[in-house]
Every structure is written in structure tokens, then in C-alpha cells.
Chain A
Amino acid sequence: ETGVTQTPRHLVMGMTNKKSLKCEQHLGHNAMYWYKQSAKKPLELMFVYNFKEQTENNSVPSRFSPECPNSSHLFLHLHTLQPEDSALYLCASSQDPGGAGDRETQYFGPGTRLLVL
């Protein structure tokens, strides 16, 4: 148990559906992240939120829309996805944006396994 939870753990959706992934951290951290892990590819950073403000969008298509209503919750809204978007979506948090060493350690949730049909 890392203190970062993600729901749902598994999701199957059609290309015309709209769904949302939820992440919650119970660690009192100030930064939250979305990563994508496709089969046989390294983890890719998608979005970074720092004190609820988006600080990085790693050239992610607009069919992925993040939302961070507070420093404990992070959502990834999905619409009109493509089959190649099928992947493991991981959420992470860290304590102190701009910190060093210990305060930069990222804690990951278990991920949501997404299948787009």
C-alpha cells in the first residue's frame, strides 16, 4: 500500500465512450502526475500538477483531459479514444515540488488497465 489509490483498476471502453480515471493520494503531497505505460514501451509522463496547477503537458492528445480539483485528487477524463490508447495508466504523487532527494520521491498507485475496443 503506497498511499496512492486508483479507480477503476480495469476499464473497457468503446471508442465513442466517455470515462474518467480517478486517483487519490493520502500522503499530504503537493504534486501529482499521470503516466502511461503501453506494452513493451517505457513509462511516459503525460501530465504534472503542482499545487493544483498544471505545470506540464507532455504533448498529450486532447482526447485526454486532466483535472485536479485539490491536491489530493487527480482525474483523467477520456473521450473518443483510439485502440492504441489501450495501456496501463499510472498516477503518482510527490511531497515537495522543486525539492531535492527525499522530497522528490514519487509514490505510484497500482494503475488502471484500460482497453479501448
Chain B
Amino acid sequence: DAKTTQPNSMESNEEEPVHLPCNHSTISGTDYIHWYRQLPSQGPEYVIHGLTSNVNNRMASLAIAEDRKSSTLILHRATLRDAAVYYCILRARGGGADGLTFGKGTHLIIQP
């Protein structure tokens, strides 16, 4: 899987939007962009994924740059429960049942 780069940590205030960046300059045309997050003392959970177009779901939005070399996970109104480590992961289409390659992710801190 191609490599991603994320900031080590970010801090935001409760009830404000949060934009979590991810750089993936070596992404290939068939790579999906997946985001997972890991809350304290829990296993990772799926957040959102996309290929080329921006995506929205009940948890977040994913904005993908036109050249696909970067993406941004958007939490529209952060709560204290969103404090977690967020992982940006590339997955090749049809990549088989191989595992996810996790980096260090971004540790998101939410201030009340």
C-alpha cells in the first residue's frame, strides 16, 4: 500500500469543525482512501472512505483533492467523544483480504 503522511497531533475546541489532513503523493489510480479512528481503550473503527469524489456520511465528510495527492477528513462539529487517533490508509481496489497498514495517525485532542 502507498504511504500516507499525517500530523502527529491536532487540537480543537468542542462544537467546532475539525479538518484532519492526509498527504498521499504516491497514490495510484486504483487506491481507495480509507479513514479509521481509534478511541481510547478500543479497537479501531471505520469512519469513511472514498476514491475520487467527496463523500459524506453520518460521522464525517471526506474531501479529496483533484489530483488525489491529499485528502481531508472533516468532522463538522467535534464533541469530546471524537477525541481519538485518526488513521488515513490507502487500499488498492481488489487488493485482496490483506490487512490494513496503519501509520502513527493523528492524535486529535478536543478541548471543552
| Cβ–Cβ contact B49 & A56, under 8 A | no
Known: A90-B43, A107-B46. A56 touches B98 (CB 8 A): yes
Residues of B within 8 A of A (CB): 32, 34, 36, 42-46, 49, 51, 91, 93-105
Given contacts A45-B98, A111-B42, 15 further A-B contacts (CB under 8 A): A4-B43, A30-B97, A42-B102, A45-B100, A50-B96, A56-B99, A90-B43, A98-B94, A98-B97, A100-B32, A101-B49, A102-B49, A104-B91, A108-B44, A111-B43
Please encode chain A, from 34 to 61, with 1 for each CB lying within 8 Å of some chain B CB and 0 for all others: 0100000011110011100001101000
Q: How far is the CB of B38 from chain A (nearest CB, A)?
A: 8
Q: In the bound complex, do residue B97 and residue A110 qualify as a contact, i.e. CB atoms below 8 Å apart?
A: no
Interface string of A83-117 (1 = CB under 8 A from B): 00000001010100111111011111111000000
Size bin of chain A's contact surface: 20 to 34
**Closest B residue to A46 using CB positions:** B99
A-B pair count, CB < 8 Å, reads: 74
Q: How far is the CB of A62 from chain B (nearest CB, A)?
A: 19
Separation in Å of the A13 CB from the closest CB of chain B?
A: 20
How far, in whole Å, are A102 and B93 apart by their CA atoms in the complex? 11
Q: Do B46 and A105 touch (CB < 8 A)?
A: yes
- With A99-B94, A100-B94 in contact, do A45 and B45 touch (Cβ < 8 Å)? no
Q: Which residues of A contact B101 (CB under 8 A)?
A: 45
Judged by a CB distance under 8 angstroms, whether A16 is at the interface is no
* Residues in chain B near residue A110, CB distance under 8 A: 42-43
Residue of B nearest to A30 (CB): B97
| Contact (Cβ within 8 A) A97 B45 | no
CA distance A50 to B98 in the complex (A): 9
The distance from the CB of B80 to the nearest CB of chain A, in whole angstroms, is: 20
